[in-house]
Structure 1
Amino acid sequence: MNSANDFDLESLVHLEQTFYDDGYKDGFDHGRIHGLIEGRALGREKGFEMWEELGFYEGFAVLWKMICARRVGDSNERIMNHINQLLQLISQFPRVNPSLTSSSADVDIPKLFRQIRSRYKILCSTLGVKPSLRSADGAPSEEDFQEDSNPSTRQPVWKVDEQSRVATGQSLEF
């Protein structure tokens, strides 16, 4: 037997690199699998948060659209314009994953989301309402429930069951 001729000395020289390459390939394949799993979970979570925020904006706009439809006034047209622009921006938001469809692949989602937030803030400013960008899972603090001991500094609460006057002198009906 000629075992000295069967022994490949070149493979011993590159032994460390061979082990490194095999380990890298195994780690890369394993990371790809776990990356897909974690990426899908994170995407689902962030997507839900985005839709929750968009749903809040849409509900806010629809509610104020119904309120403004019953009111008569000069500022009503400006408010309705802001409401319609907000609803129009929300309707442009893709309802499916843009990477899966070629028709809406050119939508810049972060830019559109910034525009929607800006339009919401403008609408709140026009209405005289403080914008609320708090997430639904953010629990209210103790300050939200503490009553003010001085009755003269309390804000009036609108009654839904009867017509009341707001600080601006406009009456609202629900």
Structure 2
Amino acid sequence: MSYEDVDLDSLVNLEQIFFDEGYKDGYDHGRIHGLIEGRALGREKGYEMWEELGFYEGFAFTWRAILLKLGKQDERKLHNISSLLKLIGQFPSTNPSQTSSEAEVDIMKLLRQIRSKYKLLCATLGVRPRLQAVDESTAPTEPNDNADEEESNGNPSRIKRSIWNLESASQEAKTPPKPVVTAQHDFSF
């Protein structure tokens, strides 16, 4: 074996060969875990968006039913309700492929428009806009019939509140609220 038969180039680049091989293995491993984590995060964020949109849609359907039941034909309120429902209907319900024309829908822009329309609807209805997410630590576990009088651990979100009755809505709007009577204390000495 002669000196010319030995290939020393492979020994010179030995460190680079191990680096490239490790990089390729790490890249492949990271790509797999990135796809798994990305898919899970996408599901979570998608669920949060749909939960919010479901709240807005239920709010709009409920108020449309209230207005129609009371016989109020306020065009502005009904127009805002229908435009909110139309925007919600434009929100994609599936994950579109990149070749689809639906892929050009800007989801975040559409979500901002829906939120703005919801706030506008709340302003025209005269209600406070709110969407409260309930987590397991603040959600009541069992219904409590005496929850109006007592608070659970000082947390006002756990109080059972009465729901507004549709039949008495027109009567409640005409009568002023009753003053709250507090206990009388004798401070004389």
| Fold similarity call, TM over 0.5 | yes
Which residue identity does 1:81 align to in structure 2?
H
Residue 145 of structure 1 deviates from its aligned partner by: 4.4
TM-score by length of 1: 0.79
User: Which whole-Å deviations, capped at 9, do the CAs of 1:25-48 have from their partners, x for residues lacking one?
Assistant: 000000111111111111111111
Output the CA distance in 2 between the equivalents of 1:107 and 1:129.
31
Distance in 2, matches of 1:88 and 1:9, equals 71
- Give the match for residue 131 of structure 2: 133
Judging changes above 3 Å, is the alpha-carbon distance between structure 1 residues 3 and 48 closer, same or farther for their aligned structure 2 residues? farther
Match of 2:86 in 1: 88
- 5 Å-filtered alignment, 1:46-85, equals 46-73=45-72, 76-85=74-83
Q: How far apart are residue 137 of structure 1 and its match?
A: 2.8
Of all paired residues, the percent bearing the same amino acid is: 57
The two structures, once aligned, show a CA RMSD in angstroms of: 2.6
Q: Report what 1:41 is aligned to.
A: 40
TM-aligned CA distance change 1:159 to 1:43, over 3 Å: closer
Cα distance 1:70–1:161, how it changes in 2: closer, same or farther (>3 A)?
A: closer
Indicate if the aligned counterparts of 2:55 and 2:131 stay in contact, CA closer than 8 A.
no
Contact 1:98–1:107 under 8 Å retained in 2: no
Q: Is the 8 A contact 1:65 1:80 kept in 2?
A: yes
Paired AA for residue 45 in structure 1 = E
For residue 122 of structure 1, what is the aligned residue in structure 2? 120
Letter matched to residue 10 of structure 2: S
- Partners of 2:14 and 2:163 lie apart in 1 by 80
Query: Contact (CA 8 Å) 2:81, 2:121: kept in 1 or not?
Result: yes
CA distance in 2, matches of 1:66, 1:146: 27
Shift of 1:100: 5.3
**2-structure distance, mates of 1:72, 1:161:** 12
Query: Which digits, 9 at most, give the CA deviation of each residue in 1:91-120, with x for residues without a partner?
Result: 000111123561311111000000001111
Unpaired runs of 5+ residues, structure 1, are 148-155
Which of 160, 164, 171 is the equivalent residue of 2:165? Answer: 160
User: Which runs of 5 or more structure 2 residues have no equivalent in the other structure?
Assistant: 140-153, 176-189
Encode CA deviations 1:110-145: one digit per residue, 9 max, x unaligned: 000000011111111111111112224373681334
Query: Aligned pairs, how many?
Result: 159
Paired residue for 1:150? Answer: none
1:97 aligns with 2:95: yes
Residue identity matched to 1:35: G
Three-state SS of the structure 2 residue aligned to 1:64 is: helix
Under a length normalisation based on structure 2, what TM-score does the superposition of the two structures give?
0.73
CA distance in 1, matches of 2:85, 2:156: 33
Report SS of the residue matched to 2:24.
Answer: helix
